[in-house]
Structure formats: C-alpha cells, structure tokens
Amino acid sequence: MSHPSKSQQRFPFRATVHIRKNFRKLPPITKPIRPLEEDSRVPSSSLSVTNVDLKYESPPPIGVDDFWNKLHQQIANQTSEHNDDHGNQNTPNKVVRIFVSSTFTDFFNEREVLIKKVFPALRDEMEPAGLQIIDCDLRWGVPKDSTTEQTILTCLEELDRCFDDNGQPFFIGLVSDKYGWVPRLDELPTNITKRYRWIDGASITLMEFIHGAFRTHNPNALFLIRNSENILKSIPDKYKDRFQDKDEYNQNQIQELRNQLHRLVSPQQIVHYDCLYDGLDSSTGRERVKIDGLNDFEEQAKQFLIEAIKKWYPNNFNNTHPSDPEQQQMNTFLLNKTQIFVDRPKEFASLLKYVAGDHKDFSLIDGGSSNKENAQPLMALTGRSGDGKTMLLGKFVLTIEETQQNKFLLFYYFFDGSFHAQASHFMFTSLKQKLYKYLDDNNVISPKTNERLKITDDTFLSDAIELLSTPLVIVVDGLDKGDVHQTRLYGQEFPFNSLSELMTDHTSTEVIHK
C-alpha cells in the first residue's frame, strides 16, 4: 500500500442535502400545543359543531364482556412473528425506544418522573454499552388541530417504529381510573380498522396496550397500576373528572382491564404502587394536582427497564473483553449523528466503491513513487463546516456494519476535543481493543509463537493486522478538531502517517477522514 504521506486521494464534498420523503421523524421536542388537561388525546376538531351528526347516531360499542372475548380471540389467532424478533438493528450500537402509554390528564406527575428521573438514569446506565435511550412521550407529538385519523396514526405508527427498531417495544403502560377517548367506529377510516384490527369500544390508550403488548405477548412491557383510592378522596371535587371517568361504560372497561391484566401478561410485568395527594401547583401558569410518594414507582420502572434491556441485548453487556469507554462513547456519538437519514446516493456509492477496491473513477494526487504497489491510497473527505460530512460517514459506517459486516473489519473514530485531551492515544487504544476482540473471537494464533497475541506487546498492532483474514477499514472523522488543552489540529499530525506497518499489501487498510 502506498504510504499515506505520498499518495492521497481527495474527495471534494459539496453535495446538496436531500431528505428522504418517506422518513418518519421522531416526535418533535417542543412545548405541547394542546393543554395537557384536555381529556386524553381527543382532537379538538372533533368537539366542533360541524362534526356533530344530527341525522345519525352511531350505535353504542359492544358490551364489555363481548369486547374482551373478541380481544382474547384475536390474541389466540395472533402469529408469533415478533416474539423472538430483536428488531432491524444489526450493529452493536442500537437505539432503544421506550413507549409510554396512558391517559394524560391523570398521569402528568408519573410522566414527569419518567422523563426527568427514570430515563436520564437509564441513559447513564446504557450509553457505555452502546445503547441510546429514546423516550416516546406523545404529549408533545399530537398537534391541537389533528383529525381523528392523524391522532390515531401518530400514536400507533410511533409504536410501529418501536417494533421496527427493537422487535418487541419497550413499553410502559400506566393504569388508573380513566379509560380515555373512545373514537366512534364510524369515524375511523377503514385503513386504520383493518391495519390495527380495531375493536369497537376500545379507547386509544387501550389500543396502544393491545398493539404494543397484548397481541405479541411482549416481555418488555411493564404495567404500573396506581392505587388511587386515597387520591380520589383527597383531591378537590373540581379536579376529580381529570382522574376518574363518570361514564358507566368507561368505568366498567377500566375495571375489567385491571381484572384481565393477569391473563394478558406475566405477574412480573404488573406493579401496583401507592401515592399521595400533595396539593395544587400553579408554578407553570396552569394549576395542576400534585402527587407525591412516587419513589417506589420510579424504582420499579427503572429496574424493570434495566433488566429488560440487558436481557434483550446481552451482547452489549459482554464483559469478556477489555472495556473501552472511549469507543463506547464513539458508539453513542454515532447513533446520535445518524438519527436523521440524509440521502446522498452519489457520494455514498463512491464510498462503497472505494472500500471495495474499485478506484478507476478516482484521481490521485501525485505524491511520488511507492514501494508497495498493491496498497490502497487514503481517501480524504473534505467540505465546509455544516455540509454533513460526519452524518454521511456515520451512515456509511452503520451500513457497512449492517449489510457487509462479514466482508470488512470496521473501525470508527471521531476526534473531538470534548472526548479527551489525548485523543490520538485513545484512538490507538480503541483500535487495539477492536483487533484483540476479533482475533480472540476467531481463535487466531500467531504462527511465530503458536500463542495468541498479547495486547500489551509493542508490536501488537502490526502483528495483529498481519493475521487478519478480513480487510480492515478505518474511518477517522474530525481531523480538523483540536485537543482540549492544545491548539494543534489532528490533521497536521495525522497519527497513521508515521505507522507504515499498518499499511500492508495483504489486507486493505483504508482511512477516510476530513
């Protein structure tokens, strides 16, 4: 391979960004458009006079017993397609989506505990293992003027995305004394009733329970049931409607849900918790009921999710190899940078051609002759700040790991002053960890010593690469960044420039960098 200081390929990057039209964005992180005190997720448009049908009144929903018999029949006929499916993420770095389902007006306090305490604790626990926690709290995702169809699809399609990524969603269902909005069957589009096998009389919240947990016997679902007798006795009368349904059908349905849960999920997935009325809070400009004593709720939710995630993705918690916190931080960074898919088919195809060894369409800068004629040159990806170079490389890395993981041994590193003042040193440490794990997993023995290589040996890098049977692709990003306490740029002291032993003929060692 040509020495990187003598032969270098440059790939100018000035492409227009194209967003895939069919990309389903995450729920926008904005202030809620609809006041949370409005009952459940009923669209405001359905409350207008124009939506009242004066000539026709839809029949009442089927009886409570008939409803649950029909649900159990559906579950009995449900295929087990999702039971052992761990999703479409084939890389070690994964997104864990946690869907929170409940009525809104009565569970504001519990949702605040989840968002401000449980999920941050989970992120601290899971990020070192390469898992990114994303909470799907649709308080922020349903615009005020949504139609019935838009409201339902916003909720259930977000659950579909959890199925896509995690196979079985990580699901939190909150149960108390409100059943939630029950859309009329005649106002539901056929595509929704058929797609989700809607049962007449189901509230949107219960349909989330059914779709996200009951039908697939989801082991990652937890149902937290509030013991609310003391709460209902204590809260002022004017707020009781927010915590308890008056409609007889809704009351019967929520009571039957409590009774049926033990038939639908295992006992380990049901938690009853107590809490206390703690007065009223007007600090946000809107008076709300305060609920205290949620420490048990917080701990039970956190421990269940930690155990479920570890059980679902055990390989991310494998401690048989030396740990590498720096590379784990790279994994988290990579997931964050590639959440929004940016489509650059021309540039992406060029990267794939390059690592495959097809260089006929590339022009090289004349850097002099090389004593390694079969070696591949470096590729340099350049562009202005904000052009999306990191996102492109991140998506490239994930694609290689997902679709061609058996063809290449891939190593990714992003230089950023926020990571470490001696990032160059840590990059080489991470590379050694990657090579050590590969050799160990494949039981590779050195022909020189008839033993496995020791990561502490001075010649480990060069010896390990000599033993590789798979091409090594090294993707280095952020060479224009500087160390925290120094002013130098990594591009001026590119660490591989002095390691000619890495540039071997028998394996492809490529470096893509800014």
Residue-wise pLDDT tens digits, 313-328? 998 887 544 445 555 6
Please indicate, yes or no, whether residues 414 and 302 belong to a single structural domain of this protein. no
Residue 190 zone, left/alpha/beta (φ > 0; ψ -120 to 50; rest):
alpha
Q: Give yes or no for residue 404 having a pLDDT over 70.
A: yes
In 55-138, the DSSP E strands lie at 94-101, 131-136
Please indicate, yes or no, whether residues 96 and 241 belong to a single structural domain of this protein. yes
Domain range for residue 488?
A: 325-513
Which whole number is the average pLDDT over 372-392? 70
Structure tokens at 318: 């494998």
Q: Which pLDDT does position 199 carry in this prediction? A: 94
What strands lie across the sheet with 94-101, from one edge to the other? 131-136, 94-101, 170-175, 221-227, 270-274
Residue 224 lies in a domain: yes
Percent of the chain residues topping a pLDDT of 70: 68
How does DSSP classify residue 482? B
- Give the pLDDT band of residue 422 (cuts 50, 70, 90): low
State whether residue 201 is helix, strand or coil: coil
Q: Give yes or no for residue 375 having a pLDDT over 70.
A: no
Write down the pTM of the prediction. Answer: 0.62
| Residues in contact with 271: Cβ distance below 8 Å, sequence separation at least 6, in sequence order | 222, 223, 224, 225, 297, 300, 301, 304
Mapping DSSP onto H, E and C, the string for 430-471 reads: HHHHHHHHHHHHCCCCCCCCCCCCCCCCCCHHHHHHHCCCCC
What would the pLDDT profile of 19-59 be if each residue is shown by its tens digit? Answer: 333 333 333 333 333 333 344 444 433 333 333 333 345 56
Please indicate, yes or no, whether residues 296 and 371 belong to a single structural domain of this protein. no
Q: Which pLDDT does position 330 carry in this prediction? A: 63
Please indicate, yes or no, whether residues 356 and 493 belong to a single structural domain of this protein. yes
Residue 155 lies in a domain: yes
| Residues in contact with 487: Cβ distance below 8 Å, sequence separation at least 6, in sequence order | none
Residue from 162, 160, 161, 178 nearest 170 by CA: 162
State whether residue 140 is helix, strand or coil: coil
Residue 99 zone, left/alpha/beta (φ > 0; ψ -120 to 50; rest):
beta
| Residues in contact with 258: Cβ distance below 8 Å, sequence separation at least 6, in sequence order | 175, 225
Question: Residue 127 phi/psi, 5° resolution?
Answer: -60, -40
Residue 66 lies in a domain: no
Residue 28 lies in a domain: no
Q: Which pLDDT does position 58 carry in this prediction? A: 53
Q: Give yes or no for residue 195 having a pLDDT over 60.
A: yes
Q: Give yes or no for residue 494 having a pLDDT over 60.
A: no
Question: Residue 107 phi/psi, 5° resolution?
Answer: -120, 25
> Which residue would you say has higher pLDDT here, 443 or 485?
443
Contact in structure between 220 and 308 (CB atoms under 8 Å): yes
Please indicate, yes or no, whether residues 203 and 165 belong to a single structural domain of this protein. yes
Please indicate, yes or no, whether residues 451 and 348 belong to a single structural domain of this protein. yes
Please indicate, yes or no, whether residues 432 and 289 belong to a single structural domain of this protein. no
Residue 37 lies in a domain: no
Which whole number is the average pLDDT over 495-504? 42
> Which residue would you say has higher pLDDT here, 498 or 79?
79
Give, in order, the Cα–Cα distances in Å from 90 to each of 81, 86, 168, 286, 403: 18, 9, 15, 45, 8
The domain total for the chain is 2
Domain boundary among 291, 316, 341: 316
Please indicate, yes or no, whether residues 143 and 279 belong to a single structural domain of this protein. yes
Please indicate, yes or no, whether residues 343 and 304 belong to a single structural domain of this protein. no
Place of tokens 């006795």: 233
Residue from 296, 315, 305 nearest 268 by CA: 305
User: What's the CA angle centered on 488, arms 487 and 491, to 5 degrees?
Assistant: 145
Residue 221, strand partner residues:
171
How does DSSP classify residue 134? E
Please indicate, yes or no, whether residues 311 and 351 belong to a single structural domain of this protein. no
Residue 117 lies in a domain: yes
Q: Give yes or no for residue 183 having a pLDDT over 70.
A: yes
Residue 229 lies in a domain: yes
Q: What's the full length of the chain, in residues?
A: 514
- Give the pLDDT band of residue 344 (cuts 50, 70, 90): confident
Residue from 1, 239, 215 nearest 106 by CA: 239
Domain boundary among 261, 287, 316: 316
Contact in structure between 344 and 325 (CB atoms under 8 Å): no
Q: Which pLDDT does position 476 carry in this prediction? A: 79
Please indicate, yes or no, whether residues 289 and 349 belong to a single structural domain of this protein. no
Please indicate, yes or no, whether residues 356 and 406 belong to a single structural domain of this protein. yes
| Residues in contact with 56: Cβ distance below 8 Å, sequence separation at least 6, in sequence order | none
Domain boundary among 276, 296, 316: 316
Residue 342, strand partner residues:
19
What strands lie across the sheet with 364-365, from one edge to the other? 364-365, 8-12, 378-382, 509-513, 472-477, 409-414
